[in-house]
Amino acid sequence: MKADVSRISYRPKLWLAASAAGALIVLALLPPLIGLYQTQLLTYGLIAAIAALGFNLLLGYTGPLSFGHSAFFGIGAYSVAFLLRDAGIHSMELYILIGLPISALASALFGYICVRHTRIFFGILTLALSQVVYSLALKLFWITGGTDGLRVPRPTLLAGTLSFTGAGAFQRFIDAYYYYVLVVFAICVVVMWVIVHSPFGKALQAIRDNETRAAFLGLRIRRFRWMSFLISGTFTGLAGILWAPLNGLTTPDVLYWTFSGEIVFTALLGGFRNFTGPIVGGIVFTYLKTYAVATTEYWQLLLGVVLVLLVMLLPTGIVGAISVAGKKLGLRGNPP
């Protein structure tokens, strides 16, 4: 712990802020260069990154592996669809403002039940609860539309100043929405950075590393796990809220447990033992899946092989491997 504190001195922080700002500027300059389709794909990637970022607070920083995060993503997406259909709301800001508390409430409820368990039982319990939500979305078709799902047309952005109808609406929407998601993404990254480097975040890591020792230090393990679960689920819910208008449709597929598996995959791909891993994982996974689906009918097979190879050969993920390689070359690795 002591070593950690001294490492976060003034200079690396400045260096970090500069590199983060650099990455943000690159992301902001990209759309005109890469065209409409790539911009849309990158937006999906950023959204996946937000989901994985939230997921990783639980797996990477607190310890338990959730196999039910699809529930929060789906609840976020479906709350947008419901707000649109039943309350006639078209404003993205209102979706976020109302959807976030709903996701938080759902995560608080699920977390309250799930944090009583650890290890494999935690995984199965999260899976079972997310399946409850899935089966309700599937079976209560007069409310949720069943397997058809619910349509989510393009919302207005920035309190109604930007609306998208008429000719070329799709292109204008993607261009604007990319920056919208990018801003939300940047805020999420900053908030998550602050959380994991706060005393609260350090407490979570202490629990992850040694539960008994953390308990002896006077930390209320279950309370901390619950808080972590709550924040984690809310972030993933926000990703769902952002995803629904981009996708234009929300179906029970995003609630099914295999989608939770994809979120886990994402975090692992980037590397869940460091902060930037899930972000890289979210973007890379989106591209990987898109190209796998485009090139072969058997994209699941491809993803499965990648996952198995990853777990066998590269358990620290892309970012983990890069930072190890960096250290070996005597360069400075990515900050943890």
65 binds other proteins (CB under 8 A): yes
Pick the stretch among 70-78, 90-98, 164-172, 261-269 that binds other proteins (CB under 8 A).
261-269
183 binds other proteins (CB under 8 A): no
* CB of residue 301 to other proteins, shortest distance in Å: 4
Cα distance between residue 91 and residue 46, in whole Å: 21
Contact 126, 256 (CB under 8 A): no
Contact 111, 226 (CB under 8 A): yes
121 binds other proteins (CB under 8 A): yes
* CB of residue 328 to other proteins, shortest distance in Å: 23
Binding-site member from 15, 148, 298, 326 for other proteins (CB under 8 A):
298
The per-residue b/e assignment along 206-239, b for 16 or more CB within 10 angstroms, e otherwise, is bbbeeeeebeeeebebeebbbbbbbbbbbbbbbb
Q: How many residues contact other proteins, by CB under 8 A? A: 42
131 binds other proteins (CB under 8 A): yes
124 binds other proteins (CB under 8 A): yes
Binding-site member from 116, 151, 220, 327 for other proteins (CB under 8 A):
116
193 binds other proteins (CB under 8 A): no
Binding-site member from 7, 119, 151, 223 for other proteins (CB under 8 A):
119
Q: Which is nearer to other proteins, 18 or 309 (CB)?
A: 309
170 binds other proteins (CB under 8 A): no
146 binds other proteins (CB under 8 A): no
Binding-site member from 19, 135, 171, 210 for other proteins (CB under 8 A):
135
Sign of CA dihedral 254, 257, 260, 266: negative
18 binds other proteins (CB under 8 A): no
Alpha-carbon distances, residue 277 vs 67, 264, 285 (angstroms): 19, 12, 12
Contact 51, 269 (CB under 8 A): no
295 binds other proteins (CB under 8 A): no
* CB of residue 297 to other proteins, shortest distance in Å: 8
303 binds other proteins (CB under 8 A): yes
261 binds other proteins (CB under 8 A): yes
Cα distance between residue 255 and residue 77, in whole Å: 10
Pick the stretch among 7-15, 138-146, 158-166, 168-176 that binds other proteins (CB under 8 A).
138-146
**249 strand-pairing partners:** 151
Alpha-carbon distances, residue 208 vs 64, 125, 189, 270 (angstroms): 8, 19, 21, 19
Q: Which is nearer to other proteins, 165 or 258 (CB)?
A: 258
181 binds other proteins (CB under 8 A): no
Pick the stretch among 32-40, 190-198, 281-289, 296-304 that binds other proteins (CB under 8 A).
296-304
* CB of residue 33 to other proteins, shortest distance in Å: 34
What tokens does 148 get?
A: 């058809």
321 binds other proteins (CB under 8 A): no
* CB of residue 106 to other proteins, shortest distance in Å: 14
Residue 248, Ramachandran bin (φ over 0: left; ψ between -120 and 50: alpha; else beta): left
- Site residues (vs other proteins, CB under 8 A): 59, 65, 67, 113, 116-117, 119-121, 123-125, 127-129, 131-132, 135-136, 138-140, 257-258, 261, 264-265, 268, 297-301, 303-308, 311-312, 315
